[in-house]
Chains A and B, each alone.
Chain A
């Protein structure tokens, strides 16, 4: 992430320092009201407060864990089924033709719009949120897997066939490794979208979780809690993305890259 020469590290830290300093200055000089931009001390005390006393009868970690559960639940199911569907679509033209209009429709569809419909059918609560996240991850993984399969070099498939490999062997040893990079890229994209959607879903239909916490605090203009919540959400999102990246590096390395 901090690529470049060691000298560049100083530039990074330098600009970061400038931001923190100007933020502290602006808030302690009272140039901006607390409601708009709480200062660093306020944020820190807000954070300690949340850690020690929790928020609305649940600890901060409990809220974070609930959000994380929902993300993983929706993402894992959506990514697995989406990838399987995408593999099928990549392999078989008829399967692709059948499913592609639905995938193409679902993919750009703003999640919050059909969350409203899901709430009508499934009510407010965990079910509609998880189904929403599942539907969010599915088309992203499907398209990624499909592209991955289609991108496999024809020459390598033919080479394998000439060596007498079976369909399954070709899939397992030629197509799959080649597609894995795309599948993982798709997974990272999917988890990003799922995560963003989750916060929105908690705001509309939730009563727990980090997104809901920000909504509740926001109603009372408790900017300190709102900011702390945003920072935690951002860091958690970053963590999820980096985790997937690390997993990809190890798995794809394991399977052998070309």
Chain B
């Protein structure tokens, strides 16, 4: 804009030209300054309340190595959660500013219900990383074999979303199959005692149950094909990201750095994740490779989150997820796609990639 004005200025006489240059440079200088001010002179929060999962993902690297705190510019008050539903409850209650790896299903529910947060980045595209583990002794070979059995899954999570989808696709009702609400570590304990026949969850719990007399009953391909795509996201309270945009950009940058470490130096990344998640390096390596950790740059593509002004396809994934939840009566209603598009805020990814 500014260069074109300057070019056309050559057609004016000298005095007008000088006046134009003066005003234009003033405008340019002012906008650059205010732009920079908005990011740099933004105050840093005293403390950032963050919710997180103990999980085999690069979030553990950025947390464990202190990158979130360093680049976010403040001390973190970490609260461990067991499910996205807990994150939603905490957000409504005002207990969290930022949440890492909340699933697309609870996020869709939250946006539909008007929880004031925005998606600032993706953590991953889940795919095979969350799937059904069945007890070998339960002899479950086909979907119909689930009748009369107990499946445990954290209610309100992406795994729960997949379980409901699985039941629907295979014409099973919750009278045929008992679905129990359990957080991941509760599931591991119940599994060990023999209380449940199957569990749909993520690692490290998934890996522990597989080691403990379990086998994989793969459902993800079928579910993904039918549109039950699930992903994990980073969300931040709207009021928080408006007040402290630099902190949020720093947080996103820290996560991007962690993903880069996994892609460029997988062994080093695996070691850190293993230690933070309390699993062996072999398990960590296997779990990490099941996820599709979309790089920050790719998240801006139209496949995923898109850019500010040009929303990507992911908003539609959220919309479809919300519609399914409405069908299930889990939420009352789902807004139009535009609401989800508005709730995805990729300014921070752009800012993170710049710096």
A and B touch in the complex (CB under 8 A): yes
CB within 8 A of B155: which of A119, A123, A216?
A216
B147 sits at the interface (CB 8 A): no
A92 sits at the interface (CB 8 A): no
Query: Is A207 touching B195 in the complex (CB atoms < 8 A)?
Result: no
> What is the minimal beta-carbon distance from B122 to any residue of chain A, in angstroms?
22
Q: B92 contacts which chain A residues (CB < 8 A)?
A: 33, 35-36, 221
**Chain A interface bracket (under 10, 10 to 19, 20 to 34, 35 or more):** 20 to 34
| Complex Cα–Cα for A216 and B115 (A) | 19
| Complex Cα–Cα for A35 and B90 (A) | 13
Q: Which of the 9-residue segments A53-61, A75-83, A130-138 touches chain B?
A: A53-61
> What is the minimal beta-carbon distance from B105 to any residue of chain A, in angstroms?
10
Within 8 A of A (CB), among B187-243: 190, 193-196
- Once A35-B114, A219-B155, A220-B325 are accepted as A-B contacts, the answer to whether A207 and B179 lie under 8 Å apart by CB is yes
Query: Is A220 touching B181 in the complex (CB atoms < 8 A)?
Result: no
Q: A215 contacts which chain B residues (CB < 8 A)?
A: 155, 181
- Once A35-B92, A35-B114, A58-B175 are accepted as A-B contacts, the answer to whether A219 and B332 lie under 8 Å apart by CB is no
| Complex Cα–Cα for A220 and B115 (A) | 12
**Chain B interface bracket (under 10, 10 to 19, 20 to 34, 35 or more):** 20 to 34
B85 sits at the interface (CB 8 A): yes
| Complex Cα–Cα for A15 and B109 (A) | 37
> What is the minimal beta-carbon distance from A28 to any residue of chain B, in angstroms?
16
Q: B193 contacts which chain A residues (CB < 8 A)?
A: 120, 123
CB within 8 A of B85: which of A56, A124, A219?
A219
Q: B115 contacts which chain A residues (CB < 8 A)?
A: 35, 221
A34 sits at the interface (CB 8 A): yes
| Complex Cα–Cα for A119 and B186 (A) | 12
A182 sits at the interface (CB 8 A): no
A150 sits at the interface (CB 8 A): no
Q: B307 contacts which chain A residues (CB < 8 A)?
A: none
Instruction: Give the residue name and chain of the B residue nearest to A36 (CB).
Output: B92
- Once A57-B175, A207-B178 are accepted as A-B contacts, the answer to whether A220 and B85 lie under 8 Å apart by CB is yes
Q: A224 contacts which chain B residues (CB < 8 A)?
A: 332
B174 sits at the interface (CB 8 A): yes
Query: Is B156 touching A220 in the complex (CB atoms < 8 A)?
Result: yes
| Complex Cα–Cα for A33 and B193 (A) | 42
Query: Is A35 touching B113 in the complex (CB atoms < 8 A)?
Result: yes
Q: B88 contacts which chain A residues (CB < 8 A)?
A: 221
Query: Is B181 touching A216 in the complex (CB atoms < 8 A)?
Result: yes
Report A78-120 CB contacts with B as 1/0, cut-off 8 Å.
0000000000000000000000000000000000000000011
A-to-B contact residues, CB < 8 Å: 33-36, 49, 53, 55-58, 119-120, 123-125, 207, 215-216, 218-222, 224
List 18 interface pairs A-B (beta carbons < 8 Å), by A numbering: A34-B114, A49-B329, A56-B174, A57-B173, A123-B193, A124-B180, A124-B196, A207-B178, A207-B179, A215-B181, A219-B85, A220-B109, A220-B156, A221-B88, A221-B89, A221-B115, A222-B330, A222-B331
- Closest A-B pairs by Cβ, 8 of them: A219-B156, A219-B85, A57-B174, A219-B155, A220-B330, A57-B173, A57-B175, A123-B195
Q: A35-B115, A49-B329 provided; 18 other pairs, C-beta below 8 A?
A: A33-B114, A35-B113, A120-B193, A123-B194, A124-B195, A124-B196, A215-B181, A216-B155, A219-B83, A219-B155, A220-B85, A220-B325, A220-B331, A221-B89, A221-B109, A221-B110, A221-B115, A224-B332
